[in-house]
Amino acid sequence: MSILESSRVVHGAAEVRKAIDQLAIRIDLALHTADPVLVTVMQGGLYLAGQLLSKLRFPLTQASLQVSRYGDVTTGTGLRWIVPLNVDVSGRTVLLVDDVLDEGITLKAVVRNLLEAGAGRVLTAVLVRKAAARSAGETADFIGLESGTSYLFGCGMDCRGYWRNLPEIRALREPEQGS
């Protein structure tokens, strides 16, 4: 069975577009005078950052870094720093953009890293906040959509390295009892 056949749509493409439009409006209002650095957490944050960049109506510097907890598996492991931050953020406001806030481990580590690098303040934007984050009290400054606990893919999130390019967000179906 293919990945798509073993999944279900959680947030359709129109709902995702609307959520990103709303995120852009909120970010624009909050940061239009801040001269921010938009830092994308690669690979997952690329989709959201790309969508936001064309909607934000203020000057900004763009940067990226790459960390991973998943690799090619569907459960998180230890944080691996793959590509470090590529610009100086000293004294700057940083908007950190990522795909999903699950347990908050990656987001907390990257925020701490940016503050240690001298960022004046760090605000966070995620496309999806999952139930685990909500129950643990984890949040982001800008949240597009809420989701349950299923493994998600699409809109920057991958499933075993594939389907980041989907315009919708899908969840793997849970195996049936006794299967």
Q: How many domains in the chain?
A: 1
CATH of the domain at 75: 3.40.50.2020
Residue 126 lies in a domain: yes
Residue 1 lies in a domain: no
Q: What is the DSSP string of 68-103?
A: ES-TTSSS--S-EEEE---S--BT-EEEEEEEEESS
If the chain, 179 residues long, is cut into consecutive pieces of 10 residues, what is the mean pLDDT of each piece? 91 98 98 97 96 96 88 62 92 97 89 96 97 84 95 95 96 62
Residue 174 has which token pair?
Answer: 């849970």
Instruction: Please say whether the beta carbons of 83 and 66 come within 8 A.
Output: yes
Residue 149 lies in a domain: yes
Within 8 A by CB and 6+ apart from 83, the residues are 42, 64, 65, 66
- Which residue range(s) make up the domain with 47? 7-171
Q: What pLDDT is stored for residue 77 in this prediction?
A: 59
Question: Residue 51 phi/psi, 5° resolution?
Answer: -70, -40
Q: What pLDDT is stored for residue 128 in this prediction?
A: 97
Residue 176 lies in a domain: no
Residue 2 lies in a domain: no
Please state, in angstroms and rounded to a whole number, the distance separating the CA atoms of residues 108 and 81: 13
Side chain identity, residue 177: Q
Q: What pLDDT is stored for residue 115 in this prediction?
A: 97
Residue 145 lies in a domain: yes
- pTM score, two decimals? 0.90
Q: What pLDDT is stored for residue 176 in this prediction?
A: 43
> Rounded to a whole number, what is the distance in angstroms from the first to the last CA of the chain?
14
- In terms of C-beta density within 10 A (0-12 exposed, 13-18 middle, 19 or more buried), how is residue 141 classed? middle
